[in-house]
Amino acid sequence: MKKDYPRFFAMIKWMMGLLAVCSLSLLAVEYDAERIVNDFAKLFKLETFEYDGEKSLSVVVNQTSDSEYGDLLKQFSPYIAMINQLAETHKMCSSLNGLGPAEAEAALMKQLREHPLLKKELLPLMARYLKAKGHSVNAVIEPRLEYNMEMLLPIAARFFYPHLVNDKFRLHICVGINGLKTLNPEPPAALAAFSFQAISKGLAANRPDTVEFVDHINKKWQEKDGQDIQVFQKEIWQWLEIHPKLKGLLWEEYEQVKDTLPFILKAAEEDAI
């Protein structure tokens, strides 16, 4: 029997067209605010830590999330970790004691979805990320606030935190141990998160500028051993605030992720002249 090749190829073409339409339909699935907030569960997970023989729960950024938010977590894990710290999600864990793993996870995710700071800070970040990926997003997002570099630099400087632990000098750069509380008023969460992201990425990449900052701080303490630690902190932060390499580090990170950030960064007044 002779095959009807024109009809056969027409059928193949029709099926390919149908598959293309289905693929586009899947990509165009709409994300509203409720769905994005529910997806907080894809950004965080519960982990059990053991210290001195005691186990405790903690909320951490989910580094093994599915592909839906994989690129967001790849770019913004330090940012999200800082927001997680500012939201004090660790305080939620006390209510999870005694629950089984599945129950604890469900109870935690319910609390995360209801957390006002997480909604305020993560919803716009996730929404802009999804839009950039070609998804349809139907969520009311507040206009981006504008900040200038002059406001950002003191925040970034305070992530280099020299202090004494049992009379021994330590330099911490982390979400929980830093000098942010010395700032008044309290800095915007997005600027704190972005600052930590830029610095932690620089440290992870062993950038010469971040190595220079760390070496300088350690060397200065050796020179001034015995100085009041608070006086030393202020000197270090003032030095960092006017350091052109810290400004350059922040600008480089901003240029890479500015389309997803919930704010716009403007040049400092002296840079605009």
Give Cα separations from 258 to 85, 132, 263 (angstroms).
22, 12, 8
pLDDT tens digit sequence for 241-250: 999 999 999 9
Whole-prediction pTM value? 0.86
pLDDT at 160: 98
Beta strands in the chain, from DSSP E residues, in sequence order:
30-32, 44-51, 54-61, 136-138, 145-148, 161-165, 168-172, 263-266
Tokens of 121: 């800070």
pLDDT at 271: 59
- Identify the bridge partners of residue 263 per DSSP, sorted by sequence position: 145
pLDDT at 76: 96
pLDDT at 24: 44
Residues of the chain with pLDDT under 70: 1-29, 65-66, 268-273
259/104 Cα distance (integer angstroms):
35
The closest of 170, 183, 157 to 245, measured between CA atoms, is 157
Question: Which position has the token pair 């004494």?
Answer: 164
Q: Between 189-204 and 244-257, two packed helices, what is the crossing angle to 10 degrees? A: 100
Tokens of 268: 């400092």
pLDDT at 4: 59
CB 122 within 8 A of CB 40: yes
182/155 Cα distance (integer angstroms):
10
pLDDT at 11: 59
Q: Residue 162, preceding bond cis, omega within 30 degrees?
A: no
DSSP-based three-state secondary structure for 28: coil
